[in-house]
């Protein structure tokens, strides 16, 4: 059974350190990902870790498409996530902020408790990044210390 872990990175430098350390522990690229709201930060992370180029706007719209259109019409611009890595492809393009639960719902659908999902959204709104890793039971003890940087 695979486990999903989330690490909190304050900067692109911390994210690069975490992702490269996870790779040294044998975690393959397809099980790694990073999410942030700044495309340029993720482009640097992609370049320094060998992970795919960032995706933005490819996330799930679902029932939020109409809300996004209404808010755009009212001149309210919402922050949007960008992501790198197959493990977090669905998180690209999720809107974050007080006007939407877009990201929170996507994270809770992935099995993350709502209170944690809201904390992660706040973390992103502050300009930080999230590091995601899917790993096996055998890899858990090697992954935890890296994500608790």
Retrieve residue 117's tokens: 């999902």
Quick check: pTM over 0.85? Answer: no
What tens digit of pLDDT does each residue of 48-78 get? Answer: 999 999 987 644 444 344 444 444 444 454 6
Q: Is 50 left (phi over 0), alpha (psi -120 to 50) or beta?
A: left
The per-residue pLDDT string of the chain (149 residues; one tens digit each, 9 = 90 and over) reads 788 899 999 999 999 999 999 999 999 999 999 999 988 999 999 999 999 999 876 444 443 444 444 444 444 546 889 999 988 988 998 989 877 888 999 999 988 999 999 999 999 999 999 999 999 988 989 999 999 86
Please give the full DSSP string across 47-77, using - where no structure is assigned.
HHH-PPPPEES-S--TTHHHHHHHHHHTT--
Please give the full DSSP string across 75-128, using - where no structure is assigned.
T---EE-EEESGGGGGGTT-EESTT--HHHHHHHHTT--HHHHHHHHHHHHTT-
Can you tell me the distance from the alpha carbon of 83 to that of 71, in angstroms, rounded to the nearest whole number?
A: 23
The Cα-based distances of 94 to 20, 30, 84, 113 in angstroms read 25, 20, 13, 17
């Amino acid at each position: 059974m695979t486990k999903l872990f989330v690490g909190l990175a304050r900067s692109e430098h911390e994210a690069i350190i975490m992702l490269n350390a996870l790779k040294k522990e044998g975690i393959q690229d397809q099980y790694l990902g990073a999410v942030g709201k700044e495309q340029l930060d993720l482009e640097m992370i992609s370049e320094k870790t060998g992970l795919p180029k960032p995706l933005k706007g490819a996330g799930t719209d679902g029932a939020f498409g109409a809300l996004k259109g209404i808010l755009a019409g009212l001149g309210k611009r919402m922050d949007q996530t960008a992501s790198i890595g197959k493990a977090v492809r669905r998180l690209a393009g999720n809107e974050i902020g007080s006007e939407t639960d877009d990201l929170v719902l996507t994270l809770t659908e992935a099995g993350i408790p709502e209170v944690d999902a809201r904390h992660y959204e706040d973390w992103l709104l502050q300009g930080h990044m999230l590091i995601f890793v899917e790993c096996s039971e055998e890899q858990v003890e090697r992954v935890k210390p890296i994500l608790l940087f």
